[in-house]
Amino acid sequence: MNSIHLTNLRFFAHHGYHDEEGVTGTNFEVSISISFDAPEKITTLPQTINYVEVYNVIRQTFGRPTKLLETIAHDICENVHMLDSRIRTINITITKLHPPISNFIGSVGVSLIKSY
């Protein structure tokens, strides 16, 4: 089994449960690992998962305002899986870098592991 990884992708988006988050927006970070079936030695692009296509799916999915990060994580996994039937596992983490929590220093996030 082979894997590709896209790490620390940064997006500004309007996701969040509270109405103000939909208006002001904030910064997010996305990391994803995708395991897939492939020949023992990969020598051509069609033998692997194209990370440019994966990035485009994440960018498009992330561009739609959504209330919960869990929903976004699920939607990204499903949309990425549609790219290639050889995908066996997707592990995604979405981090909200500056959550609107009074007197809070740090970040919050969700992770999802999907097996196919």
Q: Which helix (H) or strand (E) holds 19?
A: helix 19-24
Task: Grade residue 98 by pLDDT with cuts at 50, 70 and 90.
Answer: confident
Q: What is the pLDDT of residue 115?
A: 98
- Please compute, for residue 99, the number of CA atoms within 13 A of its CA located in the half-sphere on the CB side: 18
- Which 8-state DSSP code applies to residue 45? G
**Mean pLDDT of the 17-37 span:** 88
Q: What is the token pair recorded at 99? A: 């959550």
pLDDT tens digits, 39-57: 889 999 999 999 999 999 9
pLDDT tens digits, 62-90: 999 999 999 999 999 999 999 999 999 99
Question: Using an 8 Å Cβ cutoff, are 22 and 65 in contact?
Answer: yes
Q: What is the pLDDT of residue 40?
A: 86
C-alpha–C-alpha distance, residues 5 and 93, integer Å:
12
Q: What is the pLDDT of residue 100?
A: 82
- Which 8-state DSSP code applies to residue 56? H
C-alpha–C-alpha distance, residues 28 and 11, integer Å:
5
CATH code, 2-115: 3.30.1130.10
Q: What is the pLDDT of residue 20?
A: 74
